[in-house]
A and B are shown apart, each in its own frame.
Chain A
Amino acid sequence: MPMIELRKVSKWYGSFRVLTECSTSVAKGEVVVVCGPSGSGKSTLIKAVNGLEPFQEGEIIVNGVSVGDPKTNLPKLRAHIGMVFQNFELFPHMSITDNLTLGQVKVLGRSREQAVEKGLALLDRVGLASQRDKYPGQLSGGQQQRVAIARALSMDPIAMLFDEPTSALDPEMINEVLDVMVELAREGMTMMVVTHEMGFARKVAHRVVFMDQGQIVEDCTKDEFFGSPRSDRAQAFLSKILQH
């Protein structure tokens, strides 16, 4: 059974259809990169996986639990799905340490000492142990995103969702974040990653999902995708993005 499975997911904003019968899956330990032009619905799709974006039709099953089912305890499900956002979304009124411990204490019920210990270990892992007492506003974008990854990891997630984690970053900071993600992938973390970073996809992705206009146009292995994408749209996208 896959860790994450989407079956014919459709979503409308009013009469505007943003997702059209999207189906794909992520197996345990698999890294799936979702790419496509802006406005293609990638972000909406990944946010539907942990129920941040409601959808009207279809089904999403995460670790055996249906996300769209009104009876599902979403907070409980989300507690075990890490998510990293485009704009980091660290809580600006809390210190780095407090950002790392909030979820552990309030959701998982860990003691403060346990949570701090765990959080600081992860902070050390992303190379930012010295920043523990600072506030998010005092860190660079790349540092903030690494803290955000540590925050997600502190919840011991069974899978991680990345929503364009590097697109709000200055170019020189992109690699420090990608390095952390590559390391995670190599450790066997189940990951679904919306990104334009094709270098990252080549390095660690198992599969690539290509979206356009709310539809999944391609869903194939990395080698197939970069070797011979079948659709014109994917070819056009690749040639545009790989030119630089």
Chain B
Amino acid sequence: MGEFDWGVIWRYRAALWDGMLTSLQLFAIALAGGVFFGTLLAMARLARWKAVSVPAAGFVNLIRAIPFIMAIFWFYFLTPMIVSKFTGQQGEAVGPFTSAVVAFIMVESAYYSEIIRAGIQSIPRGQPGAAYALGLNYWQSMGYVVLPQAFRNMLPVMLTQAVILFQDTSLVYVVALKDFLGAASKAGQLTGRIVELYLFVAVVFFILCFAASRAVKGLQARLAVAR
């Protein structure tokens, strides 16, 4: 103890910042893709058509049954294969970042679909009924009546999941992608200062996630008053 060298963080600030940008990029893409495909998956699971609802349920349950890291390995393996099959390009053309993005979108869409499904189901059945009675079709009744209410109800849960997603981006470490944690790890190997670097990573994550979850709580309280 007592011989910390905190200067290492400053010396490696550029690499750490690049890592943070990678993490944020992955986070943003996975969030957008996860919510978009998650919504479609949730609608598919609630569809009356078995040919639609059963495969959707199968996919969601499969993804939710395996570890996130296992899913990352799977898509890291599958994405280049599938891409080269469809484009004729070499599998290597797909970089690790793309594979990670695909893995995260897939996993997050499964997680988000469960949240959104609960949100849709929390809307009383009379609401889509009233929308249909006005002559709205399925997509209109979802888009104007059901989903706006569902998203409003689900907003706090979805944001909480977003905080978890941001933390989960650190898992790309297992495929040697240089995210924030990966960058710190690399710098740690070069300098032997892993203690300082990992503590720094922990503190940064804590500050960001703590602030975000506080904000979500505040929002939740405001929504509770508004209704």
Q: Chain A interface (Cβ within 8 Å of chain B)?
A: 47, 50-52, 74-83, 85-87, 89-93, 102-103, 106-108, 137, 148, 151-152, 155, 161
Contact = CB atoms under 8 A, between A and B. Distances in A.
Contact of B132 (A74, A90, A91, A137): A74
B127 A52 contact: no
Interface in B113-158: 124, 126-127, 129-137, 140, 144-145, 148-149, 152
- Interchain residue pairs A-B with the least CB separation, the first 7: A79-B135, A89-B130, A103-B134, A83-B133, A107-B135, A89-B126, A78-B135
A58 to B, nearest CB: 21
A182 B129 CA distance: 25
A155 B227 contact: no
Interface of B: 124, 126-127, 129-137, 140, 144-145, 148-149, 152, 227
B127 A91 contact: yes
B134 A102 contact: yes
A103 B126 contact: no
A85 B129 contact: yes
B149 A75 contact: no
A78 B149 contact: no
B132 A107 contact: no
Contacts of B140: 106-107
A52 B129 contact: yes
B37 to A, nearest CB: 24
Given A79-B135, A80-B135, A85-B130, 15 more contacts: A51-B132, A75-B132, A81-B133, A89-B129, A91-B127, A92-B149, A93-B152, A102-B134, A102-B136, A102-B144, A106-B144, A107-B134, A148-B130, A151-B134, A161-B133
Nearest to B130: A89
A151 B135 CA distance: 12
23 contacts: A50-B133, A76-B135, A78-B132, A78-B133, A81-B133, A83-B130, A87-B124, A89-B129, A90-B130, A91-B145, A91-B149, A92-B149, A93-B148, A93-B152, A102-B145, A103-B136, A106-B140, A107-B135, A107-B140, A108-B135, A137-B227, A148-B130, A155-B135
Contacts of B148: 93
Contacts of A92: 149
Contacts of A80: 135
B135 A93 contact: no
B141 to A, nearest CB: 9
A140 B6 CA distance: 64
A108 B135 CA distance: 9
A93 B135 CA distance: 19
Contacts of B131: 91
B143 to A, nearest CB: 9
Contacts of A107: 134-136, 140
A102 to B, nearest CB: 6
B132 A89 contact: no
B126 A87 contact: yes
B126 A85 contact: yes
Nearest to A107: B135
B186 to A, nearest CB: 48
B126 A75 contact: no
Contacts of A137: 227
Contacts of B130: 83, 85, 89-91, 148
Contacts of B136: 75, 102-103, 106-107
A91 B148 CA distance: 10
A95 to B, nearest CB: 13
Contacts of A155: 134-135
A7 B161 CA distance: 52
A143 B131 CA distance: 19
A13 to B, nearest CB: 14
A89 B135 contact: no
B196 to A, nearest CB: 50
Contacts of B133: 50, 52, 78, 81-83, 85, 152, 161
Nearest to A87: B126
Contacts of A152: 133-134
Contacts of B124: 87, 89
A63 to B, nearest CB: 14
